[in-house]
Structure 1
Amino acid sequence: MALTVALAVSAFESSFARAADPAEDELNRQGVDARKRDDDAAALALFRKAYELHHSPRSAAQMGLAEIALGQWTDAEAHLREALGGTTDPWIQKNERVLRDSLARVQEEFGTIQVLGGPNGAEVMVEGKVLGTLPMHKPGRVRTGECRFEVRAPGYVSATRTVTIKHSVPRRETVELAPFAPTVSAQNVAAQPSKDEGGFSQGRSPSANPPTGEMGRRRLRPYAWVAARRPASFSAALKP
């Protein structure tokens, strides 16, 4: 990459043509000088000022080359493509080969990934941005190397994977999200008290609010049966 950038700076310096606007021309000259000093950040700032004057193809190209040196691959690709679109510009025509070689170098920094699976409409997130939704009908473009993506959807457990992306090898992954398990709200649990082995709600004794009449005799009869059959020793143990 260093050789490509050095050749680009040399070619652009030796072939400077006067811009329609002297101010733009001067900013581009200063930017090239900054690049020769390896101050690529300062150069990019100067090229950006020149570009903002007229959005000329030449200034777009200079920005793209500086962005390569700074590793700003997405912006570099966009600006180099824009510059190469200026096919009638004499300066672009003269430096077309350098620009195309630089663009090819930038494109090696990208690969593709296509995520399939479900549920339909689940978002595929890469670096905090939505790359697509399930199922992706076409691959999405990402940086080469290690790529961490997340699939998420309301009502489902999110899934995260890390894969290796190569420039010339399309990557395909299938992710099926699992729905959240149904839960019982605390309010519903409180409204349905549990029962002990005798069938009575916990925290309430059988004698609380005792029933009356025939219903009372029926419900209290089992306790009378148990009391009648307790051994004397049990009753004696309860005496003070």
Structure 2
Amino acid sequence: MKNTRLENILNQHLDSFKFKDYCPNGLQVEGRESVQCIVTGVTACQALIDQAIAHKADAILVHHGFFWKNEAAVVTGMKRRRLQALLKHDINLYAYHLPLDVHPELGNNAQLAKRLGMTLTRGLEPWDPRSVAMVGKLAEPISGEAFAAQIEAVLQRKPLHISNQRKIHKVGICTGGGQSYLGLAAEQGLDAFVSGEISENTVHTAREMQIDYFAAGHHATERYGVQALGEWLAEQHQLDVRFIDVDNPV
């Protein structure tokens, strides 16, 4: 498959042109024209690039790519080494940020919710059809401690739990760095909110607005969208796709 055709397929399936994002979505670094072997991962770090080179991949597909808003434009140091490795080995780099967070089937939110036994019902921001945060329900109310144990079993990572000793049924979710949505979730009467990261003020918001908060890890909560997208490409377009998890404790 041609690299530009693959980009068109991904753009169309993820509706990437509908998003105003913090980075470019799509083909970020152009490599060889023909793509058959793809390595997927969460972040286009040097370790993932090195693994892709070892696997003789034609392309890398990630959630966190390059060229973020407000980052330095100069190509030096770490950025030079990453780009040099991709260009030397003629490897394409595709990245999808917000489009991969919110896709109703393959997205990070949808995939994590599925693993946690949640049924998603609507966006947390009802005025935005592409709300980054979602609202869902568990099959039945459970304690915060039981839900924390469920998260740990799924992610193989103990979440930081700010508890208010309440039953958990209606849950907000935003993978990655979504802690800023906690107040909105509390205002809508949700029992809990799940995200990846936590800030100092998140603790006080959770306590004072009486909503449980689960910080389950940015990397850990965003492993599943790119895996699902890669599996979709393999099934629908007969591409050779391999997910590689570069461990990240954050």
TM over 0.5: no
In the superposition, the TM-score normalised over structure 1's length comes to 0.25
Which structure has greater helix proportion? 1
Which structure has greater strand proportion? 2
